[in-house]
Structure 1
Amino acid sequence: MKFSVLASGSSGNATYIENDEHSFLVDVGLSGKKMDELFSEIEREIRKLTGIFITHEHSDHIKGLGVIARKYGIPIYANEKTWMAIDPLIGKVPTDQRFQFDMETVKSFGSIDIQSFGVSHDAVDPMFYVFHENGRKLVLITDTGYVSDRMKGYIKGADAFVFESNHDVSMLQMGRYPWSVKRRILSDVGHVSNEDAAVAMSEVVDLKNTHIYLSHLSKDNNMKDLARMSVTQTLQSCGIVTGEYVHLHDTDANRATELVLV
């Protein structure tokens, strides 16, 4: 199983996962043209996707969904409430491309099992995914105001995480956003900060080689170097030294990460 974080940030999110038989896209938060460019970066073709999995209805996760789905005829998977929320936003999608994926269930595609789990975010029914294959585990978890014990049970022990590290609290508090937006981001249905993300990471990594991709960074309230430093320091305070068995990686809002083996 291989994956690439095609784009991650406030402006758009998409992650690609494949094995020898199937390929998947989680979220389509960028324009159809930009998605084509990102797939070219990893030398893959959108038309060959087995399916698209949607986490929730916010525009930075579904912006290009309707265009891509209609252009290539790709099956789309989302839970019932999310389907109801995205229907008015993505235009007409043929019935034979629409599939329901309930929360806290598993769908299997050959040797890959895809498990859904709920998160705490101000969307109608947000959920993210764990990809399992041959004892290896890839977790995608962003857009959550906190990481509950229930979430930790789903994601614990992964070999690779695409993990939200959205904001630096001081930057957010001192920044230009209206207080109502700041309050929303800091709430239990907003986004996790660098430090809170790292504390959660410390509780779900096992003593094995683990790769963590810091994702969904705010363009206004975070920076890659700051996120990496904050997460590194917080993990260290929790007894985990990065570079030993936990390895941190950047993601980018406009450029795909290297396609790597889980």
Structure 2
Amino acid sequence: MSLQFSVLASGSTGNAVFVETEDHSFLVDAGLSGKQMEALFQKIDRDMGKLSGLLVTHEHSDHIKGVGVLARKYKLPVYANEKTWKAMDNLIGQVPVEQKFTFEMETVKAFGSLEIESFGVSHDAADPMFYVFHHQGKKLVLITDTGYVSDRMKGLISNADAYVFESNHDVQMLRMGRYPWSIKRRILSDVGHVSNEDAAIAMGEVAGDRTKRIYLAHLSQDNNMKDLARMSVSQTLESKGIIVGEQFELYDTDPKIPTALTAV
């Protein structure tokens, strides 16, 4: 079996991604309640009790809401870097010490034929990081919750077969919307979230010959729409000479409906 994944939930209300190979499977973040997470697993016909572990990106509630309850119920190993552990320890309840593992930034852990590489992003959390999955020559990149995509990030994530890529907001919708200016400023900052246009510019710089699928993720419910994100990203890529549908396809994600389990 190849490297497969499903974006179980993505958006400001909760985030989770499932990744599996023939001998290991991981949940990246659990930003919904335990019951909601279990229902999402049922929709992709997978057993949460067979997970190899739960990888945490950062301590914001839309990424860790279900971490504690799932870790306790299914006795899951939980992986996070040291600063994230300190930041979320009091937020997820008691997790047995034997289930707590450190996964530091910019390191690689091997689980059989699967290698998981961590890398830092720019977000207003203790020590936020995301993951690249390598398996039998295939490469899957998860990158959301970053205010910008640095040259260092681009080097690490370049020419993946598939991306789950943040396309958080439309700048005009955000500026004209109901959020207080303090929150707008935070989202627009270098430690906030990338806009549709900025995401597309980064996609155009990292997508390579092997890139076939890009999933637009972590869309704001108030400051974006699926059709708008896809149109903005497509138009920005086209201005750079990249035609969606020729080199790669764009796919939606949803806060409540998992994407189909797909081979990278």
- Indicate whether the TM-score tops 0.5: yes
1:115 aligns with 117
For each residue in 1:116-165, what CA deviation from the matched residue of structure 2 results, as whole angstroms up to 9, or x when unmatched? 00000000100000000011000000000000000001100000000000
- Counterparts of 1:51 and 1:182, CA distance in 2: 35
- Counterparts of 1:91 and 1:62, CA distance in 2: 11
1:169 aligns with 171
For residues 143-182 of structure 1, the aligned pairs below 5 Å read: 143-182=145-184
**Is residue 207 of structure 2 the alignment partner of residue 208 of structure 1?**
no
- Counterparts of 1:52 and 1:239, CA distance in 2: 39
2:247 aligns with 245
Corresponding letter in the other structure for 2:241: G
Q: Matched residue of 2:37: which SS?
A: helix
Corresponding letter in the other structure for 1:151: M
Where in structure 2 are there 5+ consecutive unaligned residues? none
Give the alignment partner of residue 8 of structure 2, picking from 6, 9, 22: 6
**CA contact 2:160–2:210 (8 Å) conserved in 1:** no
For each residue in 1:178-197, what CA deviation from the matched residue of structure 2 results, as whole angstroms up to 9, or x when unmatched? 00000000000000000000
- Counterparts of 1:101 and 1:83, CA distance in 2: 10
1:47 aligns with 49
1:194 aligns with 196
List, as ranges, runs of 4+ consecutive aligned residues in structure 1 with deviation greater than 4 Å.
none
Q: Matched residue of 1:88: which SS?
A: coil
Shift in Å at residue 245 of structure 1?
1.7
- Counterparts of 1:142 and 1:149, CA distance in 2: 16
For each residue in 1:62-88, what CA deviation from the matched residue of structure 2 results, as whole angstroms up to 9, or x when unmatched? 000001000000000000000000100
TM-score, normalising length from structure 2? 0.99
Give the alignment partner of residue 75 of structure 2, picking from 60, 73, 77: 73
Shift in Å at residue 258 of structure 1?
0.1
**CA contact 2:14–2:32 (8 Å) conserved in 1:** yes
**CA contact 2:217–2:252 (8 Å) conserved in 1:** yes
- Counterparts of 2:210 and 2:257, CA distance in 1: 28
- Counterparts of 1:33 and 1:102, CA distance in 2: 29
Corresponding letter in the other structure for 2:21: N
- Counterparts of 2:210 and 2:43, CA distance in 1: 30
Shift in Å at residue 209 of structure 1?
4.3
2:94 aligns with 92
Shift in Å at residue 210 of structure 1?
1.7
- Counterparts of 1:165 and 1:14, CA distance in 2: 16
**Is residue 130 of structure 2 the alignment partner of residue 128 of structure 1?**
yes
Shift in Å at residue 207 of structure 1?
2.2
Q: Matched residue of 2:249: which SS?
A: strand
- Aligned-residue CA RMSD in angstroms? 0.5
Identity %: 70
